[in-house]
Amino acid sequence: MNTINFIDYVISMDKSEVSRCILCHDPVCTGVCPQKAPVGEILRSMYFENYVGAVRKIGSTDCTYCNAPCEKVCVLNKDSVPVEIDKTLMNMRAGEKYLPRVKISDVDLTTEICGIKMENPFMLSSSVVSSTYEMCKRAFEAGWAGVSFKTICNFPQHETSPRFSAIRSHANSFCGFKNIEQLSDHSVEENMEIFRKLREEFPTKVIMASIMGRDEAEWTDLARKCEQAGASVIELNFSCPNMESDDLGVTIGQSEELVERFTRAAKKGTSLPVLAKLTPNITDMVPIALAAKRGGADGISAINTINSITGVDIDTLVAQPAVQGKSIVGGYSGPAVKPIALRFISDLNGCGELKDLHISGIGGIETWKDAAEFILLGAGSVQITTAVMQYGYRIIDDLLEGLSEYLKRKGIASVKDLIGGASRTVVDHQSIERDTIVFPVFNTELCSGCGRCYLSCMDGGHQAIKFDPETRRPKLIGSKCVGCHLCRQVCRFGAIGEADRAVRRRSL
């Protein structure tokens, strides 16, 4: 069987049970497994789409005759029903026969930022997840290659409480996350001491110093101090949307003149690579990136969070998060922003004048697949915050294993060979092919008979599907189908494929 067969098998599985898993810190289900299977790790690998890793962890575990003590101790028993762990593991194990044939036995995940070697492409982005010595130490020990330390500044921070709100999926996980948090509340010298300790203890890890100044002198001084304290790379925060002062953060990132001026000022203070972290709260990021390059930037970090209001409490009539009856526009992150981030990464990579700059991709990355998409569109490294805030540093295990297995089965020896691999497929509107059509094909064996494809096509498409009430199966009306594939998007069982591309019938 090839890769497509395995992917089709996984898609056809009902993964709603896995999505219900709480992903406990110390999963009690693991402790009671009579076969000593790492149950919690298996479910976590499935949750983060590391399916090959999940199958490997299952190994010879056989739940056929087990009375499922793992389900009896599941924490969901307290107010719901437990995850059907035995069924989920057995279904996943059944996919072993469909595993793709590995083309190569080993891969190289090392990459670099402007000549600075990284053990792998994964970093923590500048935020609360990388704001103390202890946190960075635990992240490094877990396997993260680097951290972009929470932004260092010379002026005091006045944080509010609460400062987070979220939009949740049906599984109650964050699909969108808002913060109104500001910068590091430690003094510059306290942060420099953290850098010195981290550099001494973790000489091979990348310490990216995120900084923000109020004038050219501060940008220069902070860059100099960070290099002297052991930083590997300097990142210029031109994009925080939550600053009390209107002259800082995102305001700088929306001005070509300020970005160029402050980048040049930071470069005066350091010989280290300098990356400009840019805001998505702008129509076109390329002119701002070019301004950063004129100022001497060696790379771009993108994107920072998006200006947002996540919602309004319809009982209190206050926008979220509520701070004594008021709220403010804040930074939006999480999976919901990934498509926007990918668009900006593609724009940056597609500009010939920026080709020599490193791109560090940020925005909604949770799984190894998310990271691979950023890399394929031109990112040489990736940074993550919101997923860590929700699931912890431990997600690095599945990020590394999932990306490694993907490279193996694609026959790609180094992750660096993946960079920009999909960039040529993003073209302008005039260059896309519009003269042929791809019809959907229904797999009756995988079809559940739910009728969602029929409903969506009738009310949101082109009325090109019939639904037989006796067989409970859909049938395509070819004369009406335009090949939009809405039906494929709503099918949760992977029961709709595609036919060969055909010449479109032209109307007179």
- Cis peptide before 121, with omega less than 30 degrees from 0? no
Whole-number Å distance between alpha carbons of 391 and 15: 18
pLDDT for the residue numbered 7: 66
Catalytic choice (240, 447, 457, 487)? 240
pLDDT on residue 507? 47
Q: Is 32 exposed, middle or buried (0-12, 13-18, 19+ CB in 10 A)?
A: middle
Cα distances (angstroms) measured from residue 403 to each of 34, 113, 165, 422:
31, 19, 31, 16
Model confidence pLDDT, tens digit, residues 295-332: 999 999 999 999 999 999 999 999 999 999 999 999 99
Q: Is residue 280 part of a domain?
A: yes
Q: Say whether both 134 and 67 belong to one domain.
A: no
Which of 136-150, 339-353, 480-494 has the weakest average pLDDT?
A: 480-494
- β-partners of residue 163 are none
pTM: 0.94
Token pair recorded at residue 267 = 């470069």
Domain co-membership, 154 together with 222: yes
Please report, rounded to a whole number, the percentage of residues in the chain having pLDDT higher than 90.
80
Return the H-helix or E-strand segment holding 402: helix 396-410
285: its two tokens: 């990021």
- Do residue 148 and residue 80 come from a single domain? no
The answer to the question of residue 103 being in a domain is no
CATH of residue 449: 3.30.70.20
Same domain, 269 and 363: yes
- φ/ψ (deg, to 5) at 42: -65, -50
Tens digits of per-residue pLDDT, 354-402?
999 999 999 999 999 999 999 999 999 999 999 999 999 999 999 999 9
Domain end, chosen from 379, 404, 425, is at 425
One domain, residues 221 and 200: yes
Quick check: 473 pLDDT over 70? yes
More confident residue, 508 or 236: 236
Higher pLDDT residue, 239 or 220?
A: 220
Q: Tokens 């999480």 appear where?
A: 334
Q: Taking all residues of the chain, what is their mean pLDDT, rounded to a whole number?
A: 93
Residue 166 domain flag: no
Q: For residue 502, what pLDDT is reported?
A: 84
Residue 410 has pLDDT above 70, yes or no: yes
* Distance between CA atoms of residues 274 and 263, nearest Å: 8
Residue-wise pLDDT for 16-31, tens only, equals 789 899 999 999 999 9
Residue 37 — pLDDT band, cuts 50, 70, 90?
Answer: very high
* Three-state SS letters, 214-275: CCHHHHHHHHHHHHHHCCCEEEEECCCCCCCCCCCCHHHHCCHHHHHHHHHHHHHCCCCCEE
The pLDDT score that the predictor gives to residue 2 is 46
Q: How many helices (H) and strands (E) does the chain have?
A: 19, 22
CA-to-CA distance for 112 and 121, rounded, in angstroms?
8
- Residues 348 and 370 both lie in one domain: yes
C-alpha to C-alpha distance for 344 and 360, rounded to whole angstroms: 11
Inform me whether the pLDDT recorded for 459 exceeds 90: yes
Residue 169 lies in a domain: no
Calpha distance 151→237 (Å, rounded): 7
378 and 254 housed in the same domain: yes
Q: Where are the beta strands (DSSP E) in 278-420?
A: 299-302, 306-308, 312-313, 318-319, 330-333, 358-362, 381-384
Residue after which a domain boundary falls, among 425, 458, 483? 425
Instruction: Please compute the mean of the pLDDT values over residues 175-197 and round it to a whole number.
Output: 93
413 lies in which domain range? 111-159+182-310+335-425
pLDDT (tens digit per residue) in 1-12: 344 467 667 766
Within a domain: residue 405?
yes
* pLDDT at site 508: 33
Residue position matching structure tokens 């497994």: 33
**Which of 77, 98, 119 represents a domain boundary (last residue)?**
98
Cis peptide before 321 (omega within 30 of 0): yes
Q: How far apart, in whole angstroms, are the C-alpha atoms of residue 119 and residue 205? A: 8
Range 491-506 average pLDDT: 82
15 and 118 share a domain? no
- Structure confidence at residue 503 as a pLDDT band (50, 70, 90): confident
Question: Residues 412, 437: one domain?
Answer: no
CB 389 within 8 A of CB 177: yes
Q: pLDDT digit string (tens) for 71-102? A: 999 999 887 899 999 989 988 888 887 787 78
| 226 and 356 inside one domain | yes
349 and 260 housed in the same domain: yes
User: Is the pLDDT reported for residue 170 higher than 80?
Assistant: no
Total structural domains in the chain? Answer: 3
Is 484 one of the annotated active-site residues of the chain? no
Q: Is residue 451 part of a domain?
A: yes
Domain shared by 40 and 118, yes or no: no
464 falls within a domain:
yes
pLDDT score, position 241:
82
Within-domain flag for 319: no
Say which CATH number the domain at 215 has.
3.20.20.70
Residue 45 has pLDDT above 70, yes or no: yes
Tell me what pLDDT residue 246 has: 75
Segment 449-466 shows an average pLDDT of: 97
Q: In the predicted model, is pLDDT for residue 240 greater than 80?
A: yes
CATH number at residue 63: 1.10.1060.10
Residue 499 pLDDT more than 80? yes
What is the pLDDT, as a whole number, of residue 505? 56
Q: Residue 128 pLDDT > 70, yes or no?
A: yes
Residue 506 is predicted with a pLDDT of 52
